[in-house]
Amino acid sequence: MTMTDHHPVVTGFYHEDTNSIAYVAADPATGRCAIIDPVLDFDRARRGTHTTFADRMVAFVRGRGLTVEWILDTHPHADHFSAAPYLKEVFGAPTAIGEHVVTVQRIWKEIYNLPDFPADGSQWDRLFKDGERFRIGELEAEVIFSPGHTAASITYVNADAAFVHDTLFMPDGGTARADFPGGDARALYRSIRRILELPPETRLFTGHDYQPGGREPIWESTVAEQREHNIHLRGGVTEDAFVRTREERDRTLSLPGLLLDALQVNIRGGRLPKPEANGVSYLKIPLNYFRETGCAAIRAPKD
């Protein structure tokens, strides 16, 4: 990809409860911006949502006089709710995600037993294809299909900035798990290699930071730094070695605490289930479906 004469100004917002980072990527020449992977707060004790974190992003955008052109998801998240519908209501900007979201929707439609759920991606305004280009102000952005963590994951490359979310963490954090339904460690390795073919100075913005060693949260690295220092990739690790290490580690991981709550919302584009006759939305929990502690033990849905 050819770099432009100017680059996006990227501001990260750290969501402490879920160790997530959401972004505002702004074109300094036009003041137009995209919001990427915004988080809707979820009070675990009261099982209720609120918009405190998203409102921080709203205040930031308005305080700098920016115009929101896009609200972008990299994939349906398993560890936090998406605030995309709320921000669309605030700013009137279209929402978008990768076209393979339909694969994830079909998987979880069966897990949740939602026979009437339309697993067609219609919950977003735009479904991006691999290699598709769009604009944020005067800056051209490109979509890279990046499966592995999920079957739907994409990377947004905007000039010299790439938003990789759960594909790469910071170099001391390694790489994302690949054991969710539809995930694949071999696909993850190949997606990472494709990302690391970007110019070495490309800034990489991750979607989570779990603060290894208790350090402060950080979320920006470069392609060059990841190539040299990522603990799961350095030393020219082969695909087979990466897959073996990744799968061994994934077998030790428990289910994310919000997985069953978050995916039920996020396959709907961040919308809560339709309220029932009493005006209340309800989440379904598949009892005894996840009999083991690790996602690797999840039954594959039927075709």
Q: How confident is the model at residue 291 (pLDDT cuts 50, 70, 90)?
A: low
The tally of domains found in the chain comes to: 1
pTM for the model stands at 0.93
Range of the domain at 259: 9-270+284-297
Residue 3 predicted with pLDDT over 50: no
Q: Does residue 2 lie within any of the structural domains?
A: no
pLDDT over 60 at 302, yes or no: no
- Which residues sit opposite 195 in a β-bridge? none
The residue to which tokens 């959401």 are assigned: 22
- Region 198-217: mean pLDDT is 97
How far is the C-alpha of 145 from the C-alpha of 220, rounded, in Å? 20
Name the packing angle between helices 239-250 and 185-195 (round to 10°): 120
Answer whether residue 258 is part of any domain.
Answer: yes
| CA–CA gap between residue 235 and residue 181 (Å, rounded) | 30
Angle between helices 84-91 and 52-63 in degrees, nearest 10: 40
DSSP state of 215: P
Residues in CB range of 18: below 8 A, 6 or more apart? 39, 79, 80, 208, 258
Instruction: Report if residue 72 sits inside a domain.
Output: yes
Angle at 133 between CA 130 and CA 134, to 5 degrees: 135
Residues 167 and 176 sit within 8 Å (Cβ to Cβ): yes
With 80 as the cut, is the pLDDT of residue 147 above it? yes
User: How does pLDDT run across 106-138, given as a tens digit for each residue?
Assistant: 999 999 999 999 999 999 999 999 999 999 999
**Which of helix, strand or coil describes residue 14?**
strand
Flag whether 68 is in a domain.
yes
User: What is the CATH classification number for the domain harbouring 216?
Assistant: 3.60.15.10
Flag whether 276 is in a domain.
no
**Is 303 a domain residue?**
no
| SS3 category, 73 | coil
Q: What is the pLDDT of residues 47-98, one digit of tens each?
A: 899 999 999 999 999 999 999 999 999 999 999 999 999 999 999 999 999 9
Picking from 247, 188, 190, 198, the residue whose alpha carbon sits closest to that of residue 226 is 198
In a domain, 1, yes or no: no
Determine the average pLDDT of the residues in 180-199: 96
3-state SS, residue 26: strand
Per-residue pLDDT tens digits for 159-189:
999 999 999 999 999 999 999 999 999 999 9
Residue 254 — very low, low, confident or very high, per pLDDT cuts 50/70/90? Answer: confident
- Across the chain, what does the average pLDDT equal? 93
Q: Strands, DSSP E only, in 173-269?
A: 203-206, 220-222
Looking at residue 5, its pLDDT comes to 63
277 found inside a domain: no
Kind of pairing, strands 20-27 and 95-98?
A: unpaired
Please check whether residue 105 is in contact with residue 124, taking contact to mean a CB–CB distance below 8 angstroms. no
